[in-house]
Chain A
C-alpha cells in the first residue's frame, strides 16, 4: 500500500495523535484548572478531527466513513460542552484563575482558593 492515500491518511492520524499528546502534556504541566480545561478540550477536539479525517482517507468511501463522520459529530458536540460545564462549575464553586506564573489575582492566597465554601460539601 505505497500509494498516496496511505501516506496522507497515516500522516493525518499521526498529526492528530501528536496534537492529543501535546494536549496531554499541557494538562499535566499547566498550573491552573482553567488552563488545563482549555488545553484538554481544544487538543482533544482538534486531534479527534485530524485522526478521524485521516482514518476516513485511509478507508476510502464506504459505510465506515459515515460512522467516522458520526463519531466526529458526537465528539465535536460533547467535548466543548463538557469543558464549558466544568469551567462553569469550577468558577461558580470559587476557583480563582491564576494569572501569570507567580502573580495571583489580588485578594487570594494560592491556587484553588475557596472551593470548599461553595461546593456541595464534597472533599476533593
Chain B
C-alpha cells in the first residue's frame, strides 16, 4: 500500500512538473511563431535534399507545401 502511494505521488509530481511548461500562445503573442526562421521551407537546398531522401526511401515525393507561417492570422 505504501509503495502504491509513492507511485501516485511520483506520477503526480512528474505530471505537475511537465505541465508547468505548457503555455497557450495568445493571438497577439505569435510574432516569434510567424518568424521566417520558423518556416519549414526556409532552406531550399535542405528541402531538395530532404525531398530526395524521402523519394529514395519511400518512393514518394511532394506534399511538403505548407502555406504561411505560424501566426494563425485569419
On whether the two chains bind one another, the answer is: no
Using a CB–CB cutoff of 8 Å, the interface residues on chain B facing chain A are none
Using a CB–CB cutoff of 8 Å, the interface residues on chain A facing chain B are none
